[in-house]
Amino acid sequence: MLQHPPTKQRDGIQWRIDEILGRVDDAKTKQAYYYQQSISEIDGAWVMTEDGRKLMFATYSYLGLLRHPYIDQAAKDAIERYGTGTHGVRLLGGTLDIHLDLEQTIARFHGRDDAIVFSSGYVTNLATISTIVGKGDWVISDKWNHASIVDGCSLARGHFVRFRHNDMKDLERRLQQAPEGAGKLVVADAVFSMDGDIFPLPEALELCHKYNARLMIDEAHSLGVLGDTGHGIEEYFGMPGSIDIKMGTLSKTIPGVGGYIAADEEMITFLKHAARAFIFSAALPPAVVAACKAGFEVIEREGVERNRILSRNVKHFIGGLQERGFDTGVSVTPIVPIMTYSDDKALMMTKYCQENGVFVLPVLPPAVPPGKSRLRANVTAAHTIEDIDFALDVFEAAGKFAGVI
Ligand SMILES: Cc1ncc(COP(=O)(O)O)c(C=O)c1O
């Protein structure tokens, strides 16, 4: 076998490799490495792993639509009809009638003219922000935004600034700093993915109107979750049609993969002819497209009831954790941080939970700032009250074991 010569000096590349491998080794030494655990069966909120059956709290299937029979059947039917792939990129031979159906379904769901679907939520943010924001423009991003937004802003050729998390005074200060006449895009998560709090849409919109800025909101964690019928942040605040660019993923509440932008016709036509990730990357496969479309149909049909169960579960879960002495931060949604403030305690709690039937994972720096380590437990509509009570008992014992409570 061809051998690489030994590296003569520890260069930057080697330093970065060693840094990550060191952290992986650390978690493995503490027998608390639970990343990439393989799951062989899914049964409601329960999963089968190599070391037994566990109750899932590391999921984004907020309405419990994963394994919904109507959605699974739609995927099977699409394979029967179209096969497993496409003829390549959407702009050339890769567009199927069901791609257009899905985009129309998304547009209708969000009350917009049109929509564009990309191969993932990550790619959607990367492609959209970097396509819209050019030289001389400003992109103004909440400090707690998801990595895909940050990466999209970094890739854009315009000026990238951040405002303090959910701080509208700081947003206004940033908007005032932008030069007269510069294009301005304000971008934020609707529900923040590490802390579960909600972006103050009404105040942000007022500022965007005042300073002539466009507003882009990432609905990855609010689709199906916010609003009585699960239509997202505009429904939650009673402000339909107010956001210029609505971004969403097809991998969380919708049990598929992909991402989308819903907006006016002009914006979507522009993105379909200018976004490099749309033009130069293959179309989503038929089974995924059909499943995603079926997912939106299920939310339209069953969203109200599933959302009611989800809200009940969120209340029961957050209330139960707080009663037991846990700090759940600022969450008011299914994303529930269980703060440990220490990497070691987060790893210890994870190990205890995983060994006692609860599938949950730690969130450590750099995903959160140093000193803000936690477990992130996502509750869903697939959990029963009995499931949640079982988990609360395990979390309590784990918290005592790790010295968190
Ligand atoms: C807020 C937010 N936006 C975008 C993404 C990326 O979506 P996807 O996993 O579909 O690529 C995520 C993923 O976790 C997210 O949390």
Q: What is the reported pLDDT for 375?
A: 97
Inter-residue contact 375 to 360 (CB < 8 Å): yes
Cα separation, 383 vs 46, in Å, equals 9
Which residues share a beta bridge with 125?
none
Q: Which residue has the higher pLDDT, 133 or 28?
A: 133
CATH topology agreement for domains 30-66+303-402 and 86-284: no
Cα separation, 161 vs 220, in Å, equals 22
Q: Residue 1: which pLDDT band, with cuts at 50, 70 and 90? A: low
CATH class of 30-66+303-402: alpha beta
**Annotated active-site residue in 130, 141, 148, 193:** 193
Check if 220 has its Cβ closer than 6 Å to any atom of ligand 1.
yes
By alpha-carbon position, which residue is closest to atom 9 of ligand 1? Answer: 121
Inter-residue contact 348 to 323 (CB < 8 Å): no
- Does 193 participate in catalysis according to the annotation? yes
Check if 256 has its Cβ closer than 6 Å to any atom of ligand 1.
no
Q: What is the reported pLDDT for 26?
A: 87
Both tokens of 51, joined, read 């070391």
Query: Which of 119, 122, 333 for mutating ligand 1's site (highest number of atoms within 8 Å of CB)?
Result: 122
* Largest CA-CA distance found in the chain, in angstroms, rounded: 65
pLDDT at 23 over 90: no
Check if 259 has its Cβ closer than 6 Å to any atom of ligand 1.
yes
Average pLDDT over residues 219-237: 97
Residue type, 267: M
Q: Residue 130: which pLDDT band, with cuts at 50, 70 and 90? A: very high
Cα separation, 52 vs 354, in Å, equals 9
Q: How many whole angstroms from 179 Cα to the centroid of ligand 1?
A: 31
pTM value surpassing 0.85: yes
Under DSSP, is residue 362 helix (H, G, I), strand (E, B) or coil? strand
Average pLDDT over the chain, rounded to whole? 96
Residue 285 preceded by cis peptide, ω within 30? no
Average pLDDT over residues 62-73: 98
DSSP letter string, 63-87: T--TT-HHHHHHHHHHHHHH-S--S
User: How does pLDDT run across 266-310, given as a tens digit for each residue?
Assistant: 999 999 999 999 999 999 999 999 999 999 999 999 999 999 999
**Burial status of residue 97 (CB atoms within 10 A of its CB: 0-12, 13-18, 19 or more):** exposed
Query: Which of 165, 197, 217, 249 for mutating ligand 1's site (highest number of atoms within 8 Å of CB)?
Result: 249
Q: What is the reported pLDDT for 6?
A: 61
pLDDT at 332 over 70: yes
Please state the domain extents for the chain: 30-66+303-402, 86-284
User: Which of 3.40.50.10780, 3.40.640.10, 3.40.50.150, 3.40.50.300 would CATH assign to domain 86-284?
Assistant: 3.40.640.10
- Does 383 participate in catalysis according to the annotation? no
- Does 246 participate in catalysis according to the annotation? no
pLDDT at 252 over 70: yes
